[in-house]
Amino acid sequence: MNKTIRRASLFTLLLVLALLVRATWVQFYEGRALADDKDNRRNAIATYSAPLGNIIVGGRSVTGSAPTKTGDLRYKRTYTDGELYAAVTGYASQAYAPTQLEGIYTDLLNGTDNRLKSVLDTLTNRRADPGNVVTTIDPDVQKAAYDALGDKKGGAVAVDPKTGKILAVVSTPSYDPSALTDANTAGTAWKKLTSDPDKPLTNRALRQPLPPGSTFKLVVAAAALEDGLYTSVDERTDSPDPYTLPGTSRELSNENPNAPCTNATIRTALEYSCNNVFAKMAVKLGQDKVRAMAEKFGFNDEEQDVPVRAYPSVYPSDMYPSETALTGIGQFDVTATPLQMAMVSAAIANGGKLVSPHMVAQITDSGGDVLRDYDDEAGTKEIVSSSTAEQLQSAMRTVVERGTGTNAQVPGATVGGKTGTAQHGENNSQVPYAWFTSYGKSGGKEVAVAVVVEQSDAARSEVSGNGLAAPVAKAMMEAALKD
Q: Active site residue: 93, 174, 178, 214, which one?
A: 214
Domain that holds residue 117: 43-134+176-195
Which H or E run contains 276?
helix 275-285
Closest CA to 399 of 430, 435, 365: 435
The answer to whether residue 25 is domain-embedded is no
| Whether 254 and 310 share a structural domain | yes
The answer to whether the CB of 294 falls within 8 A of the CB of 341 is no
Beta-strand relationship, 60-61 and 55-57: antiparallel
Question: What total of structural domains would you count in the chain?
Answer: 2
Cβ–Cβ < 8 Å for 392, 233: yes
Residue 10 Cα to chain centre, angstroms = 64
Together in a domain, 277 and 397: yes
Catalytic residue check, 232: no
CA–CA separation, 58 and 134 (whole Å): 8
The DSSP letter of residue 426 is G
Residues 291 and 364 in one domain: yes
Same domain, yes or no: 265 and 189? no
- Spatial CB neighbours of 192, under 8 Å, sequence gap ≥ 6: none
pLDDT digits (tens, 9 = 90+) for 318-377: 999 999 999 999 999 999 999 999 999 999 999 999 999 999 999 999 999 999 999 999
Whether 227 and 111 map to the same domain: the answer is no
Helices (H), 29-138: 31-36, 41-47, 82-89, 100-104, 106-110, 119-124
Specify whether 227 is located in the same domain as 113. no
- Quote the CA–CA distance of 392 and 218 in Å, as a whole number: 8
On whether both 228 and 356 belong to a single domain, the answer is yes
Q: How many CB atoms lie within 10 A of CB 415?
A: 26
> Would you say residue 158 lies in a domain?
no
Q: Which helix (H) or strand (E) holds 156?
A: strand 153-159
Query: Mind listing the pLDDT tens digit for each residue in 218-249?
Result: 999 999 999 999 999 999 999 999 999 999 99
Q: What is the CATH number of the domain that holds 65?
A: 3.90.1310.10
On whether residue 412 sits in a domain, the answer given is yes
Q: Say if residue 278 is in the same domain as residue 190.
A: no
User: Which residues lie below 8 Å from residue 104, measured CB to CB, with a gap of 6+?
Assistant: 307, 308
pLDDT tier for residue 409 given thresholds of 50, 70 and 90: very high
pTM for the model stands at 0.91
